[in-house]
Amino acid sequence: MHYKAIMGIIENTTTHDKLVPEVERYIISTIKERIRAMTNTLPFENLPHPLIVEIAYNTVFWLNCFPHKSGIHTTLSLHTIVTGSTFDFNKYCKLPFRAYVQMHEQHNSQLQRTAGVIALKPMGRQGSYYFLSLHTGKRVVRNN
């Protein structure tokens, strides 16, 4: 007898052009709808591609921070299971997504000492955040 049958695992494989309905429904109904909702709260007509990518990362990050009622564990989130760290409100919720911040620049010249950035999402356990630089259009990391 195959080990999957012994463990009660039912494999559902598809071809490259077919989708697993449960997974596709979750992606469409949850992730895509949250991305649409987040982009509609932004005050911009056109969104740069890096910002759209970061909105998707942010959406998945926050979905993984909390346990799902029909998920693999009733009290542990996917974030906790994968990283081993628990959700810390004081570290992860200092800045909301899309908050405008002046970030300190390290240099010894007469150039500006701060640069405008948009807060994207928390980075990790130390309280660092990902920001989108309005000057370069690239993602930067800074400690809070």
Look at residue 144 in the predicted model and tell me its pLDDT.
Answer: 57
98: its two tokens: 């899309």
Find the domain containing 102 and state its range: 3-143
Q: Do the beta carbons of residue 100 and residue 116 sit within 8 Å?
A: yes
Domain count for the chain: 1
Nearest to 79 by CA among 98, 92, 66: 66
Look at residue 14 in the predicted model and tell me its pLDDT.
Answer: 72
Q: What is the mean pLDDT of residues 130-143?
A: 83
- 141 or 9, greater pLDDT: 141
101: its two tokens: 């911040």
CA dihedral sign, ordered 47, 50, 56, 58? negative
- Flag whether pLDDT at 1 surpasses 60: no
